[in-house]
């Protein structure tokens, strides 16, 4: 991991709420599932960085698929080409690869780390959930479909693919591993319905992103006991059987 | 420039110390920053035992700062000594152990156990820990309670003792004075301000607890006043803490009487903040014709 003053190489809107941000810098090699902290402002406001799963790594750049959900992501959406942008990357523990037929499950902006993962796998089944067809980005990332054996698109309004929630359309099949990334509620429901082995990329509120503040800790089961671990260091990817879905 | 400062029984190579709770046990920051370049490191708060801390959500961003309710999750004194202290051995910086307790006795257990280790240079008693028997109130809210704990620690160790104070008391000056009287070598202030965040839609707290601690530049003016008040009325070394993000911030705290400062939340948004702040302060001093930090400590001239 490295703290870098990067440079915005590209900022392209993909839909009303989503945009693609490409940031240049000498980043160490990342593993799919790892994330970066992006700092929306060089001033003190907003104060903290924002964590985003790495959507692709190219030579000397990282790609992010970001949804505008608040002030920080709004400011990032306004970054111009050539502007400098502070980044800490790569962070956390990514997915571990499995041989055989795999299932990639991504909902909303959670699909980002799976885009990166898909570039390292092939013959997978992709289950892609979004609100509406404008938020299905198969064309922006042609390899998603190109390397897949099957793609199942689910939109809440039925404007593309099947209608409903992603978790209502889990493909049957003998998968050696499911890689899941999306909103907490979606992943929790998926884990309830899906009985095979799975890895989940957890979305938690974070402050530092690199392990010093313990703000992102989640309760997990490991080695027969419950413990609090930092999603930013020990995660964000966890094995399905480790995750305690109701944290409170 | 000679950046050395003497504070609370230690001589530091410079007045910039990494605050407890935002630097982990030091090793987590070492990929970003050479720990040998900071004046000191206060490690994350240690109890005699390992602690889980509070459930999530634990953090909430606020204007120019953040609220946290980590709940002092930590590895405990023994694992710290076994797993982390040896990894800090090679760094040329002062290591200050932040000692915690749910009960008074626990602070003393931490001091007693860790004072045996040569690499521990000093203790900072975190008198802002919620106390179990007292319904979550903390020692640093009262002078007599603070006195008892500092006195107890003083009778156990010859190493320097700092007392970290909460601003959430009407008796800050009295508490600082009691710590001094009990044998503290310095007081460090301020810890976070108790505050809250509410979600209108769910009608619940944004965090897993009702109250949480506010830190960051949002509290800097409050912290500056607290440091000024204590430094100008109690004859004790003060380590200034609260929202420092620039070299100029640091010099302001020293002007009102701090002999050193701690960098907390700034590290969360910029892992190398402490070193930048130090460089900025040194170059500001130089620009203004000063030769060292001592020349500005307590030289505030008021209105």
The length of chain B, given as a count of residues: 303
How far CA B160 is from CA of B23, B78, B115, B152, in Å, comes to 21, 21, 10, 13
Give tens-digit pLDDT for B51-76. Answer: 999 999 999 999 999 999 999 999 99
Q: How many CB atoms lie within 10 A of CB A150?
A: 14
Tens of each residue's pLDDT in chain B, 303 residues: 999 999 999 999 999 999 999 999 999 999 999 999 999 999 999 999 999 999 999 999 999 999 999 999 999 999 999 999 999 999 999 999 999 999 999 999 999 999 999 999 999 999 998 776 676 789 999 999 999 999 999 999 999 999 999 999 999 999 999 999 999 999 999 999 999 999 999 999 999 999 999 999 999 999 999 999 999 999 999 999 999 999 999 999 999 999 999 999 999 999 999 999 999 999 999 999 999 999 999 999 999
Residues of B in contact with A206 (CB under 8 A): 59
Helix or strand holding residue B278 (H, E) = helix B273-287
B270/A86 touch (CB, cutoff 8 Å), yes or no: yes
Angstroms from B145 CA to nearest CA on chain A: 28
Tens of pLDDT, residue by residue over B123-152, are 999 999 877 667 678 999 999 999 999 999
- Is B95:B17 a contact under the CB 8 Å cutoff? no
Residues of B in contact with A227 (CB under 8 A): 52
Give pLDDT tens digits for A127-142.
Answer: 999 999 999 999 999 9
The 10 Å Cβ neighbour count of residue A198 is: 21
Of B64, B65, B73, the CB nearest to A217: B73
* pLDDT at residue B132, rounded to an integer: 67
Q: What is the pLDDT of residues A209-248, one digit of tens each?
A: 999 999 999 999 998 999 999 999 999 999 999 999 988 7
CB-based contact A217 B270, cutoff 8 Å: no
The number of beta carbons lying within 10 Å of the beta carbon of residue A7 is 18
Residues of B in contact with A48 (CB under 8 A): 61, 66, 268-269
Hey, are the CB atoms on B208 and A211 less than 8 Å from each other?
no
N-term to C-term CA, chain B = 30
Nearest to B59 among A3, A215, A226 (CB): A215
What is this model's ipTM?
0.94
Residues of chain A with confidence (pLDDT) below 70: none
Which pair of structure tokens corresponds to residue A104?
């990639």
Which residues of chain A are within 8 Å of residue B75 when distances are taken between CB atoms?
A: none
**Which residues of B are less than 8 Å from A244 in CB distance?**
none
Residues of B annotated as catalytic (active site), given as ranges:
129
Taking CB atoms and an 8 Å cut-off, how many pairs form between chains A and B? Answer: 102
**Interface touch B22/A212, C-beta < 8 Å:** yes
Residue B204: CB atoms within 10 A of its CB come to: 10
Q: Which of B61, B74, B218, B274 to mutate to test the interface with A (most CBs of A within 10 A)?
A: B61
Verify whether the Cβ–Cβ distance B53 to A48 is below 8 Å. no
User: How do the domains of chain B map onto residue ranges?
Assistant: 5-53+73-194+215-295
Residue of A nearest to B26 (CA): A212
**In chain A, which residues have their Cβ closer than 8 Å to the Cβ of B23?**
212
C-alpha B84: how far from chain center = 19
CB contact under 8 A, A47 and B216: yes
- Strands, sheet with A50-53, edge to edge from the N-terminal-most edge strand: A50-53, A35-38, A84-91, A2-13, A18-24, A61-67, A56-58
Q: Which residue of B has its CA nearest to A5?
A: B270
- Whether the CB of A211 is below 8 Å from some CB of chain B: the reply is yes
Contacts of A39 in chain B (CB under 8 A): 269
Distant-in-sequence, close-in-space partners of B186: CB < 8 Å, separation ≥ 6 = B7, B8, B9, B160, B162, B163, B236, B237, B238, B239, B259
| CB proximity A207 to B under 8 Å | yes
Q: How far apart are the C-alpha atoms of B256 and B249, rounded to whole Å?
A: 11
Give the gap in angstroms from C-alpha A49 to the nearest C-alpha of chain B. Answer: 6
Q: What is the pLDDT of residue B130?
A: 79
**Cα(B223)–Cα(B218) distance, integer angstroms:** 10
Pairing of strands B65-68, A162-163: unpaired
pLDDT of residue A1: 85
Residues of B with CB under 8 A from a CB of A: 21-24, 28-29, 31-32, 44, 52-53, 55-66, 68, 70, 73, 208, 216-217, 245, 265, 267-272
Q: Could you say which architecture CATH assigns to the domain B5-53+73-194+215-295? A: Alpha-Beta Barrel (3.20)
Nearest to A215 among B31, B65, B70 (CB): B70
Nearest chain A Cα distance for residue B174, angstroms: 31
């Amino acid at each position: 991991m490295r703290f870098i003053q990067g440079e915005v190489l590209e900022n392209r809107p993909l839909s009303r709420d989503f945009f693609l941000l490409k940031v240049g810098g000498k980043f160490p090699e990342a593993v799919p599932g790892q994330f970066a902290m992006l700092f929306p402002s060089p001033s003190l406001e907003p104060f903290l960085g924002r964590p985003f799963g790495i959507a692709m790594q190219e030579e000397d750049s990282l790609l992010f698929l970001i949804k505008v959900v608040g002030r920080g992501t709004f400011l990032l959406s306004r970054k111009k080409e050539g502007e400098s942008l502070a980044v800490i990357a790569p962070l956390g523990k990514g997915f571990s690869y499995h041989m055989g037929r795999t299932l990639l499950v991504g909902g909303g902006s959670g699909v980002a780390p799976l885009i990166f993962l898909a570039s390292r796998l092939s013959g997978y089944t992709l289950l892609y959930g979004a609100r509406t067809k404008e938020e299905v980005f198969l064309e922006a990332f042609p390899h998603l479909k190109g390397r897949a054996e099957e793609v199942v698109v689910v939109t809440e309004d039925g404007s593309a693919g099947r209608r409903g929630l992603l978790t209502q359309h889990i493909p049957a099949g003998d998968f050696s591993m499911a890689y899941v990334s999306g909103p907490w509620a979606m992943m929790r429901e998926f884990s309830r319905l899906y009985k095979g082995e799975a890895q989940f990329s957890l979305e938690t509120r974070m402050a530092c992103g690199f392990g010093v503040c313990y703000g992102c800790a989640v309760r997990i089961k490991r080695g027969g006991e419950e413990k609090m671990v930092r999603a930013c260091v020990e995660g964000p990817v966890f094995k399905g059987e480790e995750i305690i879905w109701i944290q409170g | 420039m000679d950046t050395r400062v003497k504070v609370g029984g230690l001589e530091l190579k410079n007045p910039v110390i990494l605050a407890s709770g935002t630097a982990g046990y030091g090793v987590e920051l070492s990929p970003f920053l050479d720990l040998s370049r900071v004046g000191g490191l206060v490690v994350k708060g240690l109890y005699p035992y390992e602690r889980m801390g509070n459930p999530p959500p634990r953090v909430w961003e606020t204007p120019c700062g953040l609220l946290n309710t980590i709940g002092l999750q930590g590895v405990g004194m023994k694992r710290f000594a076994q797993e982390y202290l040896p990894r800090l051995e090679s760094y040329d910086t002062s290591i200050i152990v932040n000692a915690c307790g749910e009960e008074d006795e626990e602070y003393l257990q931490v001091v007693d156990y860790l004072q045996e280790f040569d690499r521990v240079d000093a203790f900072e008693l975190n008198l802002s820990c919620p106390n179990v028997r007292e319904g979550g109130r903390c020692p640093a809210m009262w002078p007599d309670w603070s006195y008892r704990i500092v006195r107890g620690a003083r009778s156990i160790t010859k190493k320097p003792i700092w007392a970290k104070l909460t601003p959430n008391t009407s008796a800050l000056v009295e508490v600082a004075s009691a710590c001094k009287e009990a044998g503290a070598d310095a007081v460090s202030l301020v810890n976070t301000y108790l505050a809250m965040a509410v979600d209108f839609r769910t009608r619940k707290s944004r965090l897993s607890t009702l109250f949480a601690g506010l830190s960051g530049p949002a509290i800097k003016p409050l912290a500056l006043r607290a440091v000024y008040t204590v430094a100008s009325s109690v004859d004790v070394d003060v380590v200034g803490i609260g929202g420092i993000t620039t070299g100029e911030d640091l010099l302001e705290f020293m002007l009102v009487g701090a002999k050193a400062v701690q960098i907390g939340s700034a590290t969360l948004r910029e892992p190398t903040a402490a070193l930048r702040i130090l460089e900025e302060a040194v170059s500001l001093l130089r620009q203004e014709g000063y030769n060292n930090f001592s020349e500005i400590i307590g030289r505030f001239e008021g209105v």
